[in-house]
Amino acid sequence: MRFPVLILALLLAAAAVPAQAETVADIEAAWRGWMVKSGRTTGGLAVTHGGRLVHQAVMGGEAVGNAVPLASLSKAVTGVCVAGLIDRGKLAFDTPLSQALARTFARLGAPADPRMPGITIGQLLVHRAGFDRSDGDPVTGRLATYLRTATATRPSFDEQMKWLLRGRLPLAPGERYAYTNATYLMLGAVIEEVSGQGYESYCRNTVLTPLGVRGAALDPEWRILASYGGWRMPLGDYGRFYQAFAANNQAKNPVIGPSARRWMMSPDGKQMGGGVHYGLGTMVRPTPGGGNFWHWGGWVFTLDNAFDGHLNTSYATFAVRLSALDVNMVVYMTPYRGDADATRNELDNALGAAARKVTRWP
């Protein structure tokens, strides 16, 4: 006769124990699962919440907090740096290159294509400047030849700009979105001319340091990639930088002013399809919670008998911000595999699903 009472007591006790909370460790589990499925053995993950680093994880030979190269995640640093020049009145989104690069054109020679001086800062930011990749990337496609006789350890803006100024634009400026490294190379040159300072130091002082980023520098072996792919920093630092896109950022880290933020969030003239547009070096999907932001990067390069010796690198990167959760997740992985969109989407979806289930943040 006592058994039903005992069973009832046990059931009541079980009901009193709260369900196990979903934690940031589940984000790590989702990342590790994708890494294994995609055949990666080495990499890292950093998660920030509310602008605070809350979790890090590594696989293979990586060390927690180690600085890693970021490839095209560097474009967001450049984009935010340009936004600062606009907010300070040094530039406008409709400023043409004939003004923004007047001294550069005088030094290197006028562009061969008469349409190039009319390209605007806004068109460069959203990859609508008239370049495309039909014959390979107009910048990185030439690096192998160049690096046989020159070093990759200097930014070399002038040399790379010459490649662009001597060619013709395959598309009319503003015609359509076409992702290339050329646009963000030009933006790096704009930053140097308008600020009167070196690209690296200006962006570090005006963007990265105010956001609490302390371990950032151009990759010493690949400084030539500079404004379109050259930054190197711990993943947690990039998570802190990505907080620049927080909607309430002005109260904490005023690196994107109100006018630049409005431009960034507006899809007008920036659409990529599917409700997504390109903004300040990153993809943007406006949402009621402040928007989702993300970007992929990757760099694979092998060259024997280069000026710097044997060059061999292969890695990929991914960053995503979910504003409704105020969470940033940054991933580094090696080797680079040229993943299909479906494989990339699996990682994006897995990280997002895990983050949305977290009920207890550190």
CA 107 to chain centre: 31
Residue 328, strand partner residues: 48, 321
Q: What is the mean pLDDT of residues 296-313?
A: 97
pLDDT at 135: 87
Question: Residue 128: phi, psi to the nearest 5?
Answer: -125, 40
Within a 10 A sphere around the Cβ of 252, how many other Cβ atoms?
Answer: 13
pLDDT at 249: 58
SS (H, E, C) the chain: CHHHHHHHHHHHHHHHCCCCCCECHHHHHHHHHHHHHCCCCEEEEEEEECCEEEEEEEECCCCCCCEEECHHHHHHHHHHHHHHHHHCCCCCCCCEHHHHCHHHHHHHCCCCCCCHHHCEHHHHHCCCCCCCCECECCCHHHHHHHHCCCCCCCCCHHHHHHHHHCCCCCCCCCCCCCCCCHHHHHHHHHHHHHHCCCHHHHHHHHHHHHHCCCCCEECCCCHHHHHHHCEEEEHHHHHHHHHHHCCCHHHCCCCCCHHHHHHHHCCCCCEEECCEEECCCCEEECCCCCCEEEEEEEEEEEEEEECCEEEEEEEEEEEEEECCCCEEEEEEEECCCCCCHHHHHHHHHHHHHHHHHCCECC
Res. 253 pLDDT band, cuts 50 70 90: low
pLDDT at 88: 94
pLDDT at 8: 39
pLDDT at 36: 95
Q: Which residue is it, tokens 């046989």?
A: 148
CATH architecture of the domain with range 62-336: 3-Layer(aba) Sandwich (3.40)
Query: From CA 2, how far away is CA 132, in angstroms rounded?
Result: 80
CB burial of 73-98 (b: ≥16 within 10 Å; e: otherwise) equals bbbbbbbbbbbbbbbeebbbbebbbe
Burial class (CB in 10 A: 0-12, 13-18, 19+), 359: exposed
Q: Which residue is it, tokens 């562009």?
A: 111
pLDDT at 20: 53
The answer, yes or no, to whether residue 18 has pLDDT greater than 60, is: no
pLDDT at 21: 63
* Proportion of the chain above pLDDT 70, given as a percent: 92
255, two tokens: 């690196």
Query: From CA 286, how far away is CA 239, in angstroms rounded?
Result: 20
Query: From CA 53, how far away is CA 329, in angstroms rounded?
Result: 10
Q: What is the mean pLDDT of residues 55-78?
A: 96
- pTM for the model stands at 0.93
Q: What is the mean pLDDT of residues 2-29?
A: 57
Average pLDDT score over the chain: 93
Domain boundaries, the chain: 20-40+344-362, 62-336
The answer, yes or no, to whether residue 6 has pLDDT greater than 70, is: no
Question: Residue 102: phi, psi to the nearest 5?
Answer: -60, -45
Within a 10 A sphere around the Cβ of 20, how many other Cβ atoms?
Answer: 8
Res. 13 pLDDT band, cuts 50 70 90: very low
252 or 197, greater pLDDT:
197
pLDDT at 16: 38
pLDDT in tens, 128-187: 999 999 889 999 999 999 999 999 999 999 999 999 999 999 999 999 999 999 999 999
pLDDT at 61: 87
34: amino acid identity, one letter: W
339, two tokens: 């993943």
pLDDT in tens, 172-187: 999 999 999 999 999 9
Query: From CA 293, how far away is CA 264, in angstroms rounded?
Result: 11
pLDDT in tens, 215-244: 999 999 999 999 999 999 999 999 999 999
pLDDT at 247: 85
pLDDT at 73: 98
pLDDT in tens, 262-274: 999 999 999 999 9
